[in-house]
Amino acid sequence: MADETSTQSTEHHAPTSRPAHSGPGAGPRTPRPAGAPTGGPGGRKFFRRKKVCKFCTEKIDAISYRDVRLLQGFVAERGKIVPRRLTGVCTRHQRKLSLAIKQSRNIALLAFAARF
């Protein structure tokens, strides 16, 4: 047994073209440049405008399941309901919107999924 372990340790492997340690932590740690988009002094600040609810600004209270043109704007190409964080609709209107989309799908005004 002792002979087997000593022969294994003397085997020589061919060198590889990549460094011994590669991955996300590899390489020298250098600070990011000052003008990087992720922030830092001297860089341009990224300002995202707060999205406002379309239904609140236009004072639309009732969302009709028959208004297919309006509802299609809140349904993705694949047929999924677009979330609030992307559309900017408030919570109350998002709930009414999703109910209207589901009603519209059930009576075949809107498609459940996209055609392939």
Domain architecture of the chain: domains with CATH: 63-116 (4.10.640.10)
Q: Global pTM? A: 0.58
CA dist., res. 73 & res. 27, Å (int): 47
Q: Is the pLDDT of residue 79 over 60?
A: yes
User: Residue 57 forms beta bridges with which residues?
Assistant: none
Question: Which residues 6+ apart lie within 8 Å of 114 measured at CB?
Answer: 77, 78, 79
- Convert the pLDDT of each residue in 20-58 to its tens digit: 555 565 556 666 555 555 555 666 777 778 889 999 999
Selected residue with higher pLDDT from 86 and 44: 86
Q: Is the pLDDT of residue 13 over 90?
A: no
